[in-house]
């Protein structure tokens, strides 16, 4: 298989090595790991009831940025832009959105009466994933109005943005498989 990048005029593209196939996956895993590490290291204890305005502004800003970037990737897939990399970007944006909600739940849990059973960052991450998966075990419960609003936002956000992004990514992957299969048949 040849390298996808364009080679300088008059030269042949170099053959693709094993490293070329592994490198994008290492980058994805590295970025996802950085998001997880940041989630556990950021000073989230300074948010919540101590700084409510900053907390809400950060939540709104981060969620808006992630939504815009997801919509951009969806648009690239729909327009079939060959230079886009939704297989790299969409999963990372999903990981980022999960951690934005987790951080928000963790900060909200610092306010008395907002959550029952949410005490740690792991609890917040667990609640986010359980809500995203629509499993709802019931061991962590949003009790306050702010926590219920954020939970409703997460469910709506998941239905709209994450479902659209996953559908676009699946469509792109299916198209790539069909193209490769067609190329293989022509040879």
Hey, what are 147's tokens? 């926590």
pLDDT of residue 1: 41
Q: Tell me how crowded residue 127 is: count the other CB atoms within 10 A of its CB.
A: 27
Distances (CA, A) of 130 to 48, 92, 93, 175: 22, 19, 18, 31
pLDDT of residue 9: 60
The model carries a pTM of 0.79
Distances (CA, A) of 57 to 53, 61, 62, 63, 74: 6, 6, 8, 10, 25
The residues of the chain scoring below 50 in pLDDT are: 1-5
pLDDT of residue 73: 87
Q: Cβ distance 133 to 101 under 8 Å?
A: no
pLDDT of residue 4: 47
DSSP bridge pairs for 15: 2
pLDDT of residue 81: 79
Residues 6+ apart with CB under 8 A from 95: 32, 35, 36
Instruction: Return the half-sphere exposure (C-beta side, CA atoms, 13 A cut-off) of residue 39.
Output: 24
pLDDT of residue 29: 86
pLDDT of residue 17: 67
Q: Tell me how crowded residue 174 is: count the other CB atoms within 10 A of its CB.
A: 10
> SS3 of 99, please?
helix
pLDDT of residue 2: 41
pLDDT of residue 12: 60
What tens digit of pLDDT does each residue of 21-39 get? 677 778 888 888 999 999 9
């Amino acid at each position: 298989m040849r390298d996808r990048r364009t080679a300088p005029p008059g030269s042949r593209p170099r053959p693709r090595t094993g490293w070329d196939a592994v490198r994008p996956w290492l980058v994805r895993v590295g970025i996802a790991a950085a998001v997880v590490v940041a989630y556990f290291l950021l000073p989230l204890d300074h948010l919540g009831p101590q700084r409510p305005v900053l907390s809400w502004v950060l939540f709104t800003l981060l969620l808006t940025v992630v939504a815009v970037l997801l919509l951009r990737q969806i648009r690239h897939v729909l327009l079939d832009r060959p230079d886009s990399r939704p297989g790299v970007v969409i999963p990372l944006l999903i990981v980022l959105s999960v951690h934005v909600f987790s951080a928000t739940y963790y900060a909200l849990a610092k306010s008395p009466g907002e959550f029952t059973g949410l005490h740690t960052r792991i609890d917040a991450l667990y609640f986010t994933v359980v809500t995203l998966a629509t499993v709802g075990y019931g061991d962590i419960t949003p009790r306050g109005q702010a926590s219920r609003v954020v939970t409703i936002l997460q469910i709506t956000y998941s239905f709209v943005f994450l479902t659209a992004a996953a559908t676009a990514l699946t469509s792109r992957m299916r198209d790539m498989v069909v193209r490769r299969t067609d190329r293989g048949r022509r040879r």
